Structure 1
Amino acid sequence: FLGSSETADVNRVFCGQMGAVYLFSEALSAAQILAIYQLGPGYQGTFKYRAESDLLFAEHHKTLLYDDKLSSCIAFTYNPRATDAQLCLESSPKDTASIFV
């Protein structure tokens, strides 16, 4: 029970929707954060390929997002679509060192 007691009281449980969550191993610049924000809540990629998003961006934002710096410093990602019932798959890029053993 996320954020609640074992009784799962309707007033105390986590309710709502969740998008993709990223944990980076390095601090991000303000420009990187802005570029990620402009991807919107529906983005679920790993900042590896320019084709992951069909949104139109300025070239400098594309460079910030897809120059391999963001994807190489992903420590953990959670993607709600990478689940199967109670199973939650770890979907970080394979070429990034994992914090999971």
Structure 2
Amino acid sequence: MLNNSKKRTRTYDAENRIFQERWELSYFFVEHRGAPVCLVCNESVAIMKEYNLRRHYETRHNDDFGKLEGRMREDILASLKKEHYSPTKHL
């Protein structure tokens, strides 16, 4: 007997693919044109999932920024965002 069922494809829940503001402070990422971009190294991550952002941060930047907390972390984030959105950066 032939199996005429269609091949199932995995669907992703769109709700889990929305950028969360807490990721800015936790992992130093911002959303740029629908993709998460690291403020430290300016790399983008393909899929907007917290696991992917955390993995990028922990493997590449945790040694430099992992121990920062509170106001110091917020100041670093503000500085990185200012640099990222600076118009002179793109010249």
Instruction: Decide: shared fold, TM above 0.5.
Output: no
Point out the structure with the larger helix share: 2
Name the TM-score, length of structure 2 as normaliser.
0.31
Name the TM-score, length of structure 1 as normaliser.
0.29
Point out the structure with the larger strand share: 1
Greater Cα radius of gyration, structure 1 or 2: 2
